[in-house]
Each structure stands twice: as C-alpha cells, then as structure tokens.
Chains A and B, each alone.
Chain A
Amino acid sequence: MKLFASEKQEIPISDHFKPDGSRWTLKEKLLLGLSFDDYRKQLVRNPLNWLILIIFAIGVPIIVERFVFGLGSVTHGSNDYPWGLFLAFGLFGMVPLSASGFMLGTTVELFGRKDFHPIERLALLNGLLGYFFAVIYLQVDLGMPWRLPYPMVVSLGPAAVLFLVAWHVATYLSVQIAEVLPSFFEWIGWLKGKRMIRSMVLCLTIAGIILSTLHQGALGALFTYPAGKLHPLWMSANFLWIQFLCSAVFGGLSMLIIVSTLSKWFLAWRCDNQFLDSLDKLTLGLAKGAAFAMITYLGIKFMAIAHDKEWVYLFTGWGQYYLLELTIGVVIPMMLFAFAVRNGNAQMARVAAFISVFGVLWNRINTALIGFNWHMYQEIPHWKEVAITITIFTLYLATYRFILYRLPILYAWKGEK
C-alpha cells in the first residue's frame, strides 16, 4: 500500500472527490481507490498477510471444533480451572488495554484538552475493538454462547458482580460504537448522523467514565469470590477492584502509545501531518499520565499488603514472583516513562509502553491462572486453547488494520464534515 500511496497522488482517499472532481464510490473507497487487481497485488505482496493466512488456516478449524465438539475438545476441560486462557487473556487482559477510549474521551471532551485531539479517535477505536473482541473471546468461552443476552432479558441476577460486568460491557460497547461512528459517517458522507452524535458527546463521555470505572473495577472484584483460592498477595477484598481500575489506566494509555507508534511505523501513508507531527509530544503527555497512574497503583498495592498484613508472603517463592511482576511490569516502565517525560524522549516512552502493556497482561494472567489455586497445581493451557487465542487476536489485528486503512482515524477527513 505504501508503494501505491507514493505513486498515485489521489491515494490515499481522504476526500469524497477524486482529483478530477467526480465522486468516489463506496466500492472504490473500500478498495482504497485501487483497481481490484492492484488491490489483490497489494494483499499478496505484504508478507504479513501470508502470516495471517497461515494462522487462520490452523486456527479456524480449531474454533469450529470447539463449537461442534464442545469446550472439552480444545481445552483441558478443567473443573479446578474453570476459566482458562480465553478469559485470562481475552477478557481480563483485553479490557484494561482498551481503557484508552474513555480516558482520551474524558481528556478531550471533558477536560477540554483539545491538543490531544489527533489521537482521540485512535483511542476510541482502540477501546471499541478491544471490547468487541473481549466479547468474542467470551463467546468462545461461554458454555452456551447462544444465551449471551440471558442476564439482560431472561433471568436476572442483579446481586452478582458478573451481572454488572455484563450490563456495563454491553452498554459501554454501544457507547463506544456511538463514539466511533462519526468517523464512519464522515467517510460515507452522512453528516446528519455525525451531528446527531456530536450533540450527545458529553453524555456519552460521562456514561463512558461511569461504566468504565465500574466494570474495570468489577473485573477485579470477580476475583474476590474465590477469596481463598487466589494467592493472598494478589487477592485483596478491599483493594483488588481499585488495583484493576488503576492498572487499566496505565494499561490503556500504554496500549494507545503502542498502536499510535505502530501506525506511525507501518501506516505512515495513512496518517496526516497533524498526527505525525504531534505524536511525539502527545506520546509524552500519555507517558506522564501513565507514570502517575503507576505510582498510584504501586501505592495501592503496598496498602493492600499492609492492610492484610501479608509481608511474610513476600519472602516466599511466590513473593519473589510477585515482586518480579511488579518490578518488570510496573516499576521499570514507570521509571522509563518518568525519564522519557523529563528528557522529552518519546522513543523511550514507547519502549516503556511495550513493557507496561506486557506487565498488565502478565498481572491478569497471574491473577486468573497462576496465582489462582496456588495451593494446588498450575495448569498449562491446552495447545488448541493457545491456538484459538492467537487466532482471535490475529482477527483483531486484521480488523484493526482494515479500519485504519479506511476511516478517518489517523487523518482528518478533507471533505465536508
């Protein structure tokens, strides 16, 4: 695509009209303004597409197997570890990394920080896709996926934490769709719809904050049910939900740094100058936010251990593992972030963001799988479970790229808006 973009001046499409004054059709927009042949050539040339194809070739049949022969055919079907990788990674990991949407929404729309505008849409899209795919992971994991709406309409158990998660994720998904729609409306040229959403943006943003605060926290609170099964260092009846919420703040910000970095590296043809020129500065802004959230997080972690008087556990093997998680996952990226902000070094902030996203995922996996049933045995996921997890993640990346190629996320639409 990079090649075409540098050859043809009408590409990439960022206006309703071609240079000769005629209108792009929807089909042309979908094909990125290329002829069908060129589009295919472009697909075939990119080695990444081949990798995606291989992953799908292996993964899709396994997903089919799961739905035809049951969960037991692709996982260990463990009664001791009812939740495996699909939820540990897909739900508990993806959701905090998708907190970027509500944070940037708040920053720009509520706090009036218009300077973050160039990455606001990317943040919203990152949020939407993350949640959407978290639901896909959930659908793979649910025993009866066709009953997904049951907690909403058929049988309500409102006193359960998962009830809150279900409702909030569902509502928040719609909020996020509404928040991302304006870019879609610009792209297809339906301005009325855009204005409609524009008028609701404040409500949507506030709804986003409330819903996010609660369900990010609720995901943590879910692990207070197995109070005795989770290792005491990770378990905290009082603080676990704040820890999840707080780590979602830096998780989401770091994820945004990563996707914006990847966009800059691989999709530069699609970014406009406003995005490219302001990115370093904005990255440092995000880094600053993340560093603050990390300090807060460490404080809460410390409080939780002090409150439950768990210092002795720190001197066991589990304690060392716990400290390792905190050091690599939080302390090091926090110092890198702080250093980056002080020296205006956006590159370093990017390195920190990669580590910090890894740290958040690691924390969720430690909570859901490794520290869970700590007095029993550790379960190693079935390889098919890993394969499905990777396949869905690949689908996530492919969808992400598909949208970024087209909608005005990384660039401002030039036509009427």
Chain B
Amino acid sequence: MKNKIINRRSFIKGGFGGTAATVLSLKSARAAGDFDHYPDSMGVIVDLNRCVGCRSCEAACNKEQGLPEPEKPFNDYSVFDAHESGGHGGAGRRTDETRYTVVNKYELPEIDHPLYRKSQCNHCLEPACLTSCFVNAYTKTPEGAVIYNADVCVGCRTCMIACPFYIPTFKYSSAFSPRIMKCIFCYDTRLKEGRPPACVEACPQEALTFGKRVDLLEIGRKRIRQNPGGYVNHIYGENEAGGTAWMYLSPVDFGEAGFDVHVPHEPVINFVRDFLSIVPMVLVIWPALFAGFHLLANRKEQNKHHHIDGGEE
C-alpha cells in the first residue's frame, strides 16, 4: 500500500541546500499548479439545497473516526443556536479536536427555511497545509484525500495558519501526545478501498454526493443548469484555493451561507513563490558579492565615506 501513495511532495522536493535543485523544483512546483495530478481523484459535492441539518454526518464521522462523545448528543439541535466564538465570518461552530466536521445553520430573510452547511477538510488539490509543513506530515493521495502523519509532526501549527478554510485543529488538551486533528476523507477505513466516507453514507437526504471530482463538476453544472433559479451559478471549490475535492452548491451567495468568499482562486503556495524564488539567488550571489566588498574595503581601508549600513538591501 505504502508505495501506492505517491508522495505528491516529491514533485516539489528540492531543498534549500542545493541551489540548482531548488530552481528546478520551483519550476516543477509552478507547473504543478497548472494541471491536475490525479485526474481520477475522488471528491464530494455538498448541495446546500438538500441539507436539512439532521447532523447524521456529524454522528457518523464521530463514530467512524473514534472521536470523543460530544457534550450534547447529535440529535440535539440547540447546538445551532449556541453562538460559540470561533467560526470564521462570525458565529457558528468550527471543527476542533473533538469533531472533524460540523453543520451550521444560517437563517436568511430571502428564503423561507434555514440553510445548513456542513464543513470539513476540503481536501484541496494543492493543499496549503501540505505545502507549508516543514516535516512533510501531509500527503495528498491519488484517491484525493489529504492525510496526516502524526509520527513526524512537530506541532508547530503552521498548517493551521496556512489552511485557508480554518480546518486543521490541534489537540491542545494533551501535553504528551498532541497532534493535528482533521478530517481525512475516511482514507484508511474507506476511501482507500473505493468506498464513500462515513458522513456521505449516513446522509439521508443525499445532500452529499461522492464520486470522481471531474464527474462531480459535471453533476454540479447540470443541477445549476436544470434549476437556474435554485442555485447561484458557482461551484464553491472548483477554483477556490486552486481547487478542492469537496465542493459546494448553494441557493444563495456563498458569503451569506458562511463561506469565505475571499479565499483566493489559486493555490496558497503561489503567494509564497516570490520569496522562494529569491532563495537560490541569495545563496549564489551573496557569497561572491560580499567577499568582493571585503576585498574592496580592505583595499581602501582609509575610505571614510563608508557609512554603516551593513546589511541594508
């Protein structure tokens, strides 16, 4: 099994030590954003029109992933009204060390029933968590899941900083075996064998549809085409953060249903490239440049015009 998981990071492996390697690796990293590595990877499309907020998915996930029993049972709907701090874009619950997925309620004046949104890891195509981790704890599997290896994680929490969807959470309660807690697309128990994740299977409304990402995009477009009044013409996740495996359809502007509509439409790593691209240059040019300065300075030791601006760029 192990070698079936092509470590996606090998595409952008280079290292800051080897300068030439870094240049090359950055080239391939750039290319990586332009095509889909795993054309057959799976995904899920979530249809907000169908979700009734029954929380079956939360319950199924809790069981499947062996998470601790929640304070309030899963058939207690008062959780929707508790305004916990922490959800981005205002109130609402968020993922944490006890839950990989949460459903939130949004009451909107323009529609007569409340909207519910399930959130979990979106399993990005070019995951920010993966690209920001300095010990390579994350892997994007060919099946589409972004999984995490607790054995190498140092607990720096950069992945949490980097994830544009505020998904990874940290087991702050533990001193001796803390770890990142996040949805893994039920990779080891289901996805690996081609079975849909527990939450999808548990959904009584078929609000969650599991399938190949390319097919899901087709399904999404078809639903929008057939019912243009019922959906906004956008599939959230098609391009957000460079594309995600979990995508959403909504009857209202995504911003109103608690989505972050400011998430850039390109992979997070693109914002870091500017810096990454100067690294090899500094490594190559600086030694020669400063050794040269040294020779010059020694030649005209007397030069009094030199002001002190040692490291100034």
Contact = CB atoms under 8 A, between A and B. Distances in A.
A112 B301 contact: yes
Contacts of B207: none
A240 B272 CA distance: 10
A104 interface: yes
A67 B94 CA distance: 27
Interface string B11-55: 011111100000001000100000000000000000000000000
B297 A160 contact: no
Interface in B121-159: 128, 131-137, 152-158
B301 A162 contact: no
Given A111-B306, A144-B178, A150 B162 contact: no
B164 interface: yes
Given A158-B13, A158-B16, A226-B162, A206 B291 contact: yes
B279 A214 contact: yes
A372 B260 CA distance: 15
Which of B17, B134, B286, B287 gathers most chain A CB within 10 Å? Answer: B134
Contacts of B86: 78-80
Main secondary structure of the interface of A (DSSP, over half): helix
Contacts of B95: 79
B88 A80 contact: yes
A150 B154 contact: yes
Interface in A62-76: 66-73, 75
Interface residues of B, number: 78
B60 to A, nearest CB: 22
Interface string A49-86: 00000000000000000111111110101111011000
Interface string B157-194: 11011101010111111110011000000000000000
Interface stretch (A37-45, A181-189, A286-294, A400-408): A286-294
Nearest to A109: B294
Contacts of A75: 172
B161 A159 contact: no
Nearest to B128: A225
Contacts of A292: 307, 309, 312
Main secondary structure of the interface of B (DSSP, over half): loop
A21 to B, nearest CB: 39
Contacts of A112: 294, 297-298, 301
B25 A225 contact: no
A229 B241 CA distance: 13
A143 B149 CA distance: 14
Given A160-B132, A221-B272, A104 B310 contact: yes
Contacts of A102: 310-311
A144 B154 contact: yes
B162 A157 contact: no
B160 A79 contact: yes
A157 B133 contact: yes
B264 interface: yes
B293 A110 contact: yes
Nearest to B150: A144
A154 B13 CA distance: 15
Contacts of B309: 249, 288-289, 292-293
A106 B290 contact: yes
Which of A155, A157, A218, A252 gathers most chain B CB within 10 Å? Answer: A157
Contacts of B179: 143
Contact of A71 (B25, B128, B136, B178): B178
Given A202-B294, A226-B162, A160 B311 contact: no
Contact of A83 (B161, B268, B306): B161
A125 interface: no
Contacts of A71: 170, 172, 175, 178
A233 to B, nearest CB: 15
A161 interface: yes
Interface in A347-391: 373, 375-377
B283 interface: yes
Contacts of A83: 157, 161
Contacts of A222: 158, 161
Contacts of B172: 70-72, 75, 77
Contacts of B6: none
A224 B29 CA distance: 17
A104 B152 CA distance: 38
A289 B279 contact: no
Nearest to A293: B312
Contact of A161 (B137, B270, B276): B276
The 9 residue pairs across chains A and B that have the minimum distance between CB atoms: A143-B155, A72-B172, A77-B172, A221-B275, A82-B157, A70-B175, A225-B162, A158-B15, A103-B310
